[in-house]
Structure 1
Amino acid sequence: MRTLALLMATLLLAAGLASAPVQSRGLQREMKVGFIYISPIGEEGWSYAHDQARKLLSTMPGVRTSYVESVPEGPEAERIIRNMARKHYDVIFATSFGYMDFMLKVAEQHPDSTFMHCSGYKNAPNMSNYFGRIYQARYLTGLVAGSMTRSGAIGYVAAFPIPEAIRGINAFTLGVRAVNPKAEVRVVWTKSWYDPVMEKNAAKRLIKEGADVIAQHQDSSGPQEAAQEMGVYSIGYNTDMTRFAPRAHMTSAIWSWGPFYKEVVEQVRAGTWKNGSFWYGMETGVVDIAPYGPMIPQNVRELTDRAKADIKSGKLVVFTGPVKDQQGVERIPAGTVPPDKELLSMDWFVEGVNGTLD
C-alpha cells in the first residue's frame, strides 16, 4: 500500500508539473543579448547612447546583456561577434558601419542567432540593418546654428567621408542656409570616430580660421570643450553634451535607442522577428534634439519647434528639391524628393559646404 501511495503521489506531481506554465517551473530560458561598440562607453557620445539602451534591456525579466567596447572595425570585430554567436547569444547588436561585412559573414554561419547591424545596408535571413533619420535632427540643429552665427562661418568636425556623415552635413547645411543663405559650413575630417584630442584640435583650428559655431559628427565632447574654451557656440551629437560645455552648447542631434532595442528583443523572444532594413524618423522618437541652451532666444526656439513639428507630420521633408551641389549643379529637381536609396548612398556636398570628400 505504501508503494502504491508513493507511486500515485509521484504521478500526481508529474501531472502537476506538466500542466504548470514553463515560467512558473523556472525553466524559461534566459535570453542573452550582446553589444559591440566602436568607442569607449564614457559619459557621452555614440557608444554611450547605445549603452543606455542596453541598460534598459537589462531591466527586462529573463534578459542578460553584455558588451565589448572600443572594438576596431576589422578582424577583431569578427572574432568578437563570432565568439558571441558560439556562446549562443540570442541577439547581437553591432553598432558601427565598419562591422557590417564581418557580421554578415558570422550571421551566415550561425543561423540560430539574430544579428542587428547599425547604419549599414546588408541583410541575411537572420540579420537586419537599422538606423535613424538623424539627418532630420541635423537640419533642426542647422536652423539653430544658422540663426546664432555672426561671422557666417560654421565649423564642422567629422569622422569619415561616408554617406552617413555626408548626408548629415548636407542636412545641417540646408538648415543653416534656410535662415542664413550666405553662411557656409566648413568641414574638417579627422578619419577617426573617437579621438578627443584630435577632435578638439580640429575644432580649435576651425575657430582660429573664423568659425563662431562648431558642430560635429564625432563621439567625444572635444569639439564642445574647444568651443567653450575659445568663446564660441557649439552643436553636439549623439547625446546632450551640455554638462561638458554649458556656456557653448546650444543643442545636439541625439539618439534614443531604448524602445527600439526592447521591441527587437521582445520580437525575438516571441518568435515574431523578421529581417529587414529599418530607418526610423523623428516621429518614432529614435532621433531628436537636446534641450536648448539658455543662450537661444525665444524666436529661434519657436522657429525650430515649428520645423520639428512639420518634420514629424511629414509637412517638411529635408531633402526636397531644388537642391544644388557645391558646383551649383541641380542634383534634386524642384518639388521632388530623392528615394531612400539615393540618400543612403549620398556622395556629394550641397551648396554652402566648404570642404572636400577625401
Structure 2
Amino acid sequence: MHRRTLLATASALAATLAAPAFAQDEPLKIGFIYVGPVGDGGWTYQHDLGRQAIEAEYGDRVETTFIESVPEGADAERALTQLALAGNDLIFATSFGFMDPVMNVAARFPDVKFEHATGYKRSENVATYDARFYEGRAVIGTIAGRMTESDIIGYIGSFPIPEVIQGINSSFIHARKVNPDVEMRVVWAYSWFDPAKEADAAAALLAEGVDVILQHTDSTAPLAQAQAAGAIGFGQASDMAAFKPSPRVASIIDEWSPYYIKRVGAMLDGTWESGASWAGIGDGEVVIGEITEAVPAEVKAEAEALRDAIGAGEYHPFTGPLNKADGSVWLAEGETASDEDLQSMNFYVEGITAQIPQ
C-alpha cells in the first residue's frame, strides 16, 4: 500500500499533507472477524450490514473481507494474523473475547490499525468502540414490566461481563419502576451465539413462570420458544422482524454503519487515531425498533417518552437512589453512575436475587 512520503522542502511537505492517505489506484483493504455467522439475524448480521455500508459509501476506494464464526481465543489470533498478512490496513474485531488476541496481533503488526468492539484495551494502533446497550434495555425493561402477567421476567445472559450485567440491571430497574411486583430470573448461556443453548435457556425460564424474555445472545431461538409458549420477547442487536408483531414486540438495534463509515473515512484521509467510542440512543447507535400493536398504546407512549428522554440527555438509566443487591448504597438520590462505574460493573442491583457466576 502506498503511504504518504514526507519530503524535505516545506512546499512539498504541505502538498504531501494535503494528499489522500492512500493512493486511489489501490483500495484501502479492510478486514472483519465475526464471532457468529453473518446470517445469525442478530449481532454479527448487524455488524455485516455495517461492512456493507462501508462498501456502499466508498465504492472502489475500499475492499472489504470477513471471516465469520471465529471462536474467541487462539482461533481469533490466527484469524487476525491471517487478515494482517493478507494486507488489510484496518481490521475490525467485533466481539469482547477478541480483546487479547487483538492486542497480541497488533503488537506484531504496528502498521496495521485495529478496532475492537466492546473492549477496553487500547494502544497506538488499537482503538475501541462500544454502544450504550443499557439505554435500550431501560426502554424494553419498561415494556416488560408493563406487559408481564405473571410478574416474572427472564433474561438470557451470554457471559457475566460488565456489558451484560449493565443490561440485566437496567432492564430490571425499569421493569420494577413501572411494576413493583416484578421478579427477574437469569439464565446464562455461556455463548454469544448457540441456538440450541439459547432455546434451552428460554425453555428453562418459561418453566419458571416467565412470560417475558429478554436476551443478550444473538440468535432468534429465544423468540421461537416464546412464540410457542405464548410469551413475548424482544429483538436483540437487530430487529428480528420475522417475529413481529408478537412475540417480538420491540427490539434493540445496534446501528454500527455511521461509526464504520467515519473510521474508514479517517483512514482514507489520514486522520485515524486510537481512541474510545461509547455511543448510545442520542447518537443513533442504539435504536429502538418498531414497538408493535401488541403493546398497548399507553405503554408504547411511555416507552417512547423514556427513549426520547435518554436520547436528549435528560435522563440517565442509572440514576439513584439505587442500592446493590446486598443492600449497600450504590447511588444516592439524584446521583448518576459514572462511565467508570458501569464499565466495571460486577454486581446486581437490589431486588435481583440471582447470583453472578464467578
Q: Moved runs in structure 1, 4+ residues, more than 4 A? A: none
> Which residue number corresponds to residue 194 of structure 1?
193
Describe the superposition over 1:191-223 as per-residue Cα deviations: whole angstroms up to 9, x where unpaired: 111111111121112112111111101010111
> Which residue number corresponds to residue 13 of structure 1?
none
Change beyond 3 A, Cα 1:335–1:27: closer
Matched, 1:183 2:182: yes
Describe the superposition over 1:267-311 as per-residue Cα deviations: whole angstroms up to 9, x where unpaired: 011011111111012111110111012211110111111111111
Offset at residue 247 of structure 1 (A): 2.6
Structure 2 contact 40–219 (Cα < 8 Å) conserved: no
1:227-266 aligned at under 5 Å gives the runs 227-244=226-243, 246-266=245-265
Matched, 1:203 2:202: yes
Query: How many equivalent residue pairs?
Result: 336
> Which residue number corresponds to residue 38 of structure 2?
41
Describe the superposition over 1:136-193 as per-residue Cα deviations: whole angstroms up to 9, x where unpaired: 0010000111110111100111111111100111111111111112201110001111
Offset at residue 234 of structure 1 (A): 1.0
Residue identity matched to 1:181? P
> Which residue number corresponds to residue 167 of structure 1?
166
1:90-109 aligned at under 5 Å gives the runs 90-109=89-108
1:287-326 aligned at under 5 Å gives the runs 287-326=286-325
Q: Which whole-Å CA distance do the structure 2 matches of 1:333 and 1:30 have between them?
A: 53
Change beyond 3 A, Cα 1:143–1:27: closer
Structure 1 contact 163–347 (Cα < 8 Å) conserved: yes
Mark the runs of 5 or more structure 2 residues left unpaired by the alignment: 1-18
1:1-358 aligned at under 5 Å gives the runs 28-59=25-56, 60-61=58-59, 62-244=61-243, 246-358=245-357
What is the SS of the residue equivalent to 2:92? strand
Q: Which whole-Å CA distance do the structure 2 matches of 1:114 and 1:165 have between them?
A: 27
Residue identity matched to 1:168? G
Offset at residue 50 of structure 1 (A): 0.2
Describe the superposition over 1:51-76 as per-residue Cα deviations: whole angstroms up to 9, x where unpaired: 01111112222111110111011111
Q: Which whole-Å CA distance do the structure 1 matches of 2:131 and 2:277 have between them?
A: 8
Residue identity matched to 1:121? Y
Q: What TM-score, normalized to structure 1?
A: 0.91
Report % sequence identity.
40
What is the SS of the residue equivalent to 2:64? strand
Residue identity matched to 2:34? Y
What is the SS of the residue equivalent to 1:293? coil
Offset at residue 27 of structure 1 (A): 5.0
Describe the superposition over 1:17-57 as per-residue Cα deviations: whole angstroms up to 9, x where unpaired: xxxxx99xx95320111110111111511100100111111
Offset at residue 246 of structure 1 (A): 4.1
Describe the superposition over 1:104-150 as per-residue Cα deviations: whole angstroms up to 9, x where unpaired: 11112212111000001010101101101010001000011111011
